[in-house]
Structure 1
Amino acid sequence: MKDFFKYLTPGEEDKQWGIYLNVVGTKHTHPDEEYPPKGHPSGYFFNWEKGRVLNEFQVNFITEGTGDLETKDGRFLVKTGSVMLIYPGMWHRYRPRGKTGWAENYIGIEGEAVNRFLSNPVLNPKTPVVFCGLKESLLDCYYNIFELCKKEKPGFQQIASGYSVRLLGSVISMVKNKDFKGKNIEITIEKAKFLIRQNIDKETNIKEMARSLNIGYSYFRKMFKLFTGVSPGQYQLQLRILRAKELLLTSDKAVKEVAYATGFDSIYYFSRIFKDKTGKSPSEFRKE
């Protein structure tokens, strides 16, 4: 894609949506080329000596080259496959290294939804560089956003904001999983998830399963929750309720049969848990 940047003027309807884009762009900076390039508004342009502070959140994906990002918390290496997260109100400066240059893809977003995203503990201004690797899924988000913003057809902000959420969600997921990738614990948790899903029609004893996987229960439970966001027991229950929903909607099985097919020995316990999780009894859910 050719270099370009575009500053957008979101309307009140865009702002009420909860997330909107202010700027998008892509730039290939050649070795020893002046940086940053001229032509940006005063609120965005900066030099290395002074740096800058933005009011928006920027997500900058580096797909070629190497550089440095500096904040008040230190200097961070930015290499191919890195994502720079520039937080609102954070003093910063960055640039490619002269010998390599770099290729960057960036968006600047604001809104109430963005503020909620930034409250996620995974997003930490003290670690503003995340290494994601050259993920096609990330680049696809940027390219879709760029095409939408170039044309500015009615409703483009809403569609582009959806890709922005997908982009940010992908980055958060990569941050959460970086401590697991390629390690034995990741393999163990994937085996556990497989066993739970495979035995969805019966009550799985999580402690016994951990023992069969040669891992201590307390450590297994802690790492499973870090990996999936829920405990092993809740993960199992969510799968069973999901399967129960499918059977209620797609089969003629009686509620009692659905309960047994998803590992519940008591129809009364099944009905109570189902209502707790869905807000409706199995019979009410089936009627809708």
Structure 2
Amino acid sequence: MDYCSDLSFVNYGYAEASSVSACGRRFEDYYGIQFLYHGRMYAHTGDHPDEFADGPCVFITFPGVPFYYGAPAGQVRSQAHICFSGERAVRYCNEELLTLRETALFRRLADPDAFFHTMQRLFQLLKVPGSVPHARAVLLLEELLLQIQEQPVVPDKIYTRYMDDLLALRDRIAMEPLLPWNFQKEARKMNLSYVHFRRIFKQTTSWPPGGFLLECRLRQAEKLLMSTHARISEIAQTCGFNDAYHFSRIFKKHSGHSPAEFRKLYGNR
């Protein structure tokens, strides 16, 4: 099996209570996921000023610029890393699965324990020779990169105070998009003005709340078109659209097909 032969793992490891620092380190021809699990850390590239973060968080190292990072003087940190190279890694960059930044280095993680568990599974696979374990390790690497990409870029203050509530709300909307959601009410639950709530919801999910709800309802409409024989007007009503024509227009913009075309292509026969 050579499906994943276009990626090589350079090195990996986990250092607990480490005070080791990197000064002008260059990652020639390879990339790295640097995961700060516990502790405080500084990092910067080139002549940029130091950035500081408390774990858990992650940053990416890459070729072409010198990196400086470590724990502040007198402190230690726990840090895991996985480094890799090859044509597939370059493709990750070109296709924006791997984002390279010389500033604003650190990214928060919504579920750092799950991230660390995935890294540990990857480390175990790298100890086993053979093409199949290697391919599975590549898949886990891509899972890690996806987890990083889906993390919102928000200020620490917002992350600390509101992130759990916002992500929980996002998941509730996705699970029950047909409920009569009132985002003014959701904002009041968090003691936020609606304007502020809308702004940080978009920072967290990349969607304004109304747009996110619309997307979830359209996905529910897709499921109903594929799995039921209900009339399109009934599906429109069920999914919160009072006008079937308006529903059809929005649905076509969303999927590239009218509801009738979508059902013909993908519905149960």
Q: State TM-score, norm by structure 1.
A: 0.68
Residue 96 (structure 2) pairs with residue 117 (structure 1): yes
Residue 144 (structure 2) pairs with residue 167 (structure 1): yes
Alpha-carbon offset, residue 215 of structure 1: 5.6
After superposition, the C-alpha distances for 1:122-150 in whole angstroms (9 at most, x for unaligned) are: x6322334455992211122122222222
Partner of 2:5: 14
Does the aligned pair in 2 maintain the 1:201–1:261 contact within 8 Å? no
Alpha-carbon offset, residue 155 of structure 1: 4.5
Partner of 2:10: 23
Residue 178 (structure 2) pairs with residue 200 (structure 1): yes
Cα 1:92/1:285, change in 2 over 3 Å: same
Counting aligned pairs with the same residue, the percent is 20
Alpha-carbon offset, residue 183 of structure 1: 2.8
After superposition, the C-alpha distances for 1:173-222 in whole angstroms (9 at most, x for unaligned) are: 445254533436974796698579767366x787x768977865554443
Does the aligned pair in 1 maintain the 2:4–2:135 contact within 8 Å? no
Cα 1:195/1:27, change in 2 over 3 Å: closer
Partner of 2:246: 269
* SS of 1:117 mapped into structure 2: coil
State how far apart, in whole Å, the 1-side matches of 2:161 and 2:194 are: 18
Partner of 1:62: 36
- AA aligned to 2:90 is G
State how far apart, in whole Å, the 2-side matches of 1:65 and 1:216 are: 34
Q: State TM-score, norm by structure 2.
A: 0.72
Alpha-carbon offset, residue 67 of structure 1: 5.8
Residue correspondence of structure 1 range 234-253 to structure 2 within 5 A: 234-253=211-230
Partner of 2:124: 147
Cα 1:21/1:104, change in 2 over 3 Å: farther
Alpha-carbon offset, residue 255 of structure 1: 1.5
Residue correspondence of structure 1 range 213-232 to structure 2 within 5 A: 218-232=195-209
Partner of 1:85: 60
State how far apart, in whole Å, the 1-side matches of 2:261 and 2:81 are: 47
Cα 1:75/1:210, change in 2 over 3 Å: closer
After superposition, the C-alpha distances for 1:87-110 in whole angstroms (9 at most, x for unaligned) are: 321202445678665543211232
Cα 1:184/1:112, change in 2 over 3 Å: closer
Counterpart selection for 2:158 from 174, 180, 191: 180
Greater mean alpha carbon deviation, residues 74-83 or residues 160-169? 74-83
Residue 265 (structure 2) pairs with residue 278 (structure 1): no
Does the aligned pair in 2 maintain the 1:60–1:83 contact within 8 Å? yes
Residue 207 (structure 2) pairs with residue 233 (structure 1): no
State how far apart, in whole Å, the 2-side matches of 1:175 and 1:195 are: 18
Cα 1:116/1:28, change in 2 over 3 Å: same
Which consecutive residues of structure 2, in runs of 5 or more, have no partner in the other structure? none
Does the aligned pair in 2 maintain the 1:81–1:133 contact within 8 Å? no
Cα 1:79/1:189, change in 2 over 3 Å: closer
Q: Which has the larger radius of gyration?
A: 1
Does the aligned pair in 2 maintain the 1:31–1:97 contact within 8 Å? no
> Alignment length, in residue pairs?
257
Does the aligned pair in 1 maintain the 2:26–2:66 contact within 8 Å? yes
Does the aligned pair in 2 maintain the 1:221–1:232 contact within 8 Å? yes
